């Protein structure tokens, strides 16, 4: 997955363009910038690659989620349904617009379980935020049907699955809004950065304003621009955008490489009857950023994970004990360890999340996810595959 593995001359050239004229900001300074508009160019490329009408780049994936929620007019008093298995950015973004994150169970797709989503809907629910974790996607058709019935916004977090598709559409483009992260460990990296895609002209118009203090971007005198509504600063710098342009151009090659490595590993593990694979919803195509396997139970999963480590297999994750990605360790959220006071509404809303999620525990307790790297040679992947089989066999 990590795009940093393929950082090279192409990225340097794009950055050099920016260094040559010194305009590090995306707006203004037209006379100095020698025709270079890197953020704008990245937005055009992203919209084209993701087959959406609009794209907005911002300073991080977390910022992308925040801006997307703001564009959908989500704020105080609103609830957003999110999965128990995700990155902490999901609830951070929801809280940052003043709304309440509502945790919801996952299923064998390792993403939101549609039935659990339905059960979590209240009068306050405004949006459903599936997170396409570890290279594969949520059951978007089912989630969209639920959102249509209840008039909810479908916001896809595709930060870990860029390049995957569902029903022939790039992940992120199926819902009302889709978000990507371009942080340093993501498939496409800018160093730090993020992107929002949408086909909605209204959302796109709000997005460019909101991420730049509410500026209307009319005319070419920044100081004279009006502010139709409040915003913040989530702008991406030209230096970061430049890296992203070169990285995004490499995405198709990256996906092919991920698929090749993933397939070798998966084929090696398939003969083991105790190993099963994460379910990919019908019509879905993974980005192959991770290979996700289930062991028959938690005990064997823990042992297998340990054995993988002792056999020298790095970058395999047992999320059940993970601080960043699973609700059990989100103590700061569940205990409401906020620097300033949270609103009374959020305080009581968060109380509802202080429970166990048995269906999620049952799946995550059995899951091991192995990162697919781009820099492995074919011989290294084959060696890795046989070591993985050996490690897992040793605990069965």
Ligand X SMILES: *Cc1c(COP(=O)(O)O)cnc(C)c1O
Tokens of 197: 């895609």
What are the residues whose beta carbons fall under 8 Å from the beta carbon of 188, sequence distance 6 or more?
Answer: 3, 162, 180, 182, 244, 247, 248, 250, 251, 254
Burial class (CB in 10 A: 0-12, 13-18, 19+), 100: buried
Minimum CB separation of residue 87 from ligand X in Å reads 4
Minimum CB separation of residue 103 from ligand X in Å reads 15
355: left (phi over 0), alpha (psi -120 to 50) or beta: beta
Closer Cβ to ligand X, 131 or 269, answer by number: 131
The closest residue (CB) to ligand X is 61
Minimum CB separation of residue 31 from ligand X in Å reads 33
Q: Which helix (H) or strand (E) holds 96?
A: helix 89-96
Q: How far apart are CA 389 and CA 385, in angstroms?
A: 6
Minimum CB separation of residue 190 from ligand X in Å reads 9
Closer Cβ to ligand X, 188 or 388, answer by number: 188
Residue of 186, 209, 250, 373 with catalytic role: 186
- The DSSP string of 115-148 is HHHHHH--TTEEEE--B-GGG----HHHHHHHHH
Closer Cβ to ligand X, 110 or 147, answer by number: 110
Given a contact cutoff of 8 angstroms between Cβ atoms, the answer to whether 166 and 156 are in contact is: no
Chain centroid to CA 50: 15
Is 144 a residue of the active site?
A: no
Q: How far apart are CA 195 and CA 59, in angstroms?
A: 8
Given a contact cutoff of 8 angstroms between Cβ atoms, the answer to whether 156 and 284 are in contact is: no
Minimum CB separation of residue 150 from ligand X in Å reads 24
What are the residues whose beta carbons fall under 8 Å from the beta carbon of 131, sequence distance 6 or more?
Answer: 82, 83, 85, 86, 87, 90, 111, 112, 138, 157, 159, 160
Closer Cβ to ligand X, 160 or 353, answer by number: 160
Closer Cβ to ligand X, 86 or 198, answer by number: 86
Query: Residue 328: which of 299, 365, 369, 300 has the closest Cα?
Result: 365
State the residues that interact with ligand X by CB under 6 A. Answer: 60-62, 86-87, 89, 131, 157, 159-160, 181, 183, 194
Closer Cβ to ligand X, 181 or 307, answer by number: 181
Minimum CB separation of residue 260 from ligand X in Å reads 23
Residues forming the active site: 186
């Amino acid at each position: 997955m990590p795009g940093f593995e393929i950082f090279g001359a192409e990225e340097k050239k794009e950055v050099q363009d920016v260094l040559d004229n010194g305009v590090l900001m995306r707006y203004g300074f037209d006379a100095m910038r020698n025709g270079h508009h890197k953020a704008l160019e990245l937005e055009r490329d992203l919209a084209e690659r993701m087959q959406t009408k609009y794209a907005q780049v911002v300073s991080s994936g977390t910022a992308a989620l925040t801006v997307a929620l703001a564009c959908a007019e989500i704020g105080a008093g609103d609830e957003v349904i999110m999965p128990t298995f995700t990155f902490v950015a999901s609830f951070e973004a929801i809280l940052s617009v003043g709304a309440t994150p509502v945790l919801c169970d996952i299923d064998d797709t390792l993403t939101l379980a549609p039935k659990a989503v339905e059960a979590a809907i209240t009068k306050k629910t405004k949006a459903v935020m599936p997170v396409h974790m570890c290279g594969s996607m949520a059951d978007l058709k089912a989630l969209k049907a639920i959102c249509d019935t209840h008039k909810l916004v479908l916001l896809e977090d595709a930060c870990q699955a860029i390049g995957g598709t569902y029903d022939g559409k790039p992940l992120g483009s199926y819902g009302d809004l889709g978000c990507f992260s371009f942080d340093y460990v993501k498939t496409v990296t800018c160093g730090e950065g993020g992107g929002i895609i949408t086909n909605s002209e209204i959302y796109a118009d709000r997005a460019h304003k909101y991420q730049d203090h509410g500026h209307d971007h009319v005319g070419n005198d920044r100081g004279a621009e009006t502010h139709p509504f409040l915003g913040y600063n989530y702008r991406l710098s030209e230096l970061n955008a430049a890296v992203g342009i070169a990285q995004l151009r490499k995405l198709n090659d990256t996906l092919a490489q991920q698929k090749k490595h993933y397939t070798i590993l998966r084929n090696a593990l398939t003969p083991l009857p105790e190993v099963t694979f994460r379910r990919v919803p019908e019509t879905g195509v993974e980005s192959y950023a991770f290979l996700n396997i289930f062991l028959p139970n938690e005990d064997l999963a823990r042992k297998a994970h340990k054995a993988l480590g002792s056999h020298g297999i790095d970058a395999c994750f047992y999320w059940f004990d993970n601080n960043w990605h699973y609700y059990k360790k989100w103590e700061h959220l569940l205990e409401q360890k906020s620097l300033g006071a949270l609103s009374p509404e959020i305080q009581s809303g968060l109380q509802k999340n202080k429970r166990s999620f048995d269906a999620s525990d049952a799946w995550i307790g059995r899951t091991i996810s192995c990162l697919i790297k781009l820099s492995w040679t074919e011989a290294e992947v084959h060696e890795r595959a046989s070591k993985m089989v050996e490690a897992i066999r040793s605990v069965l």
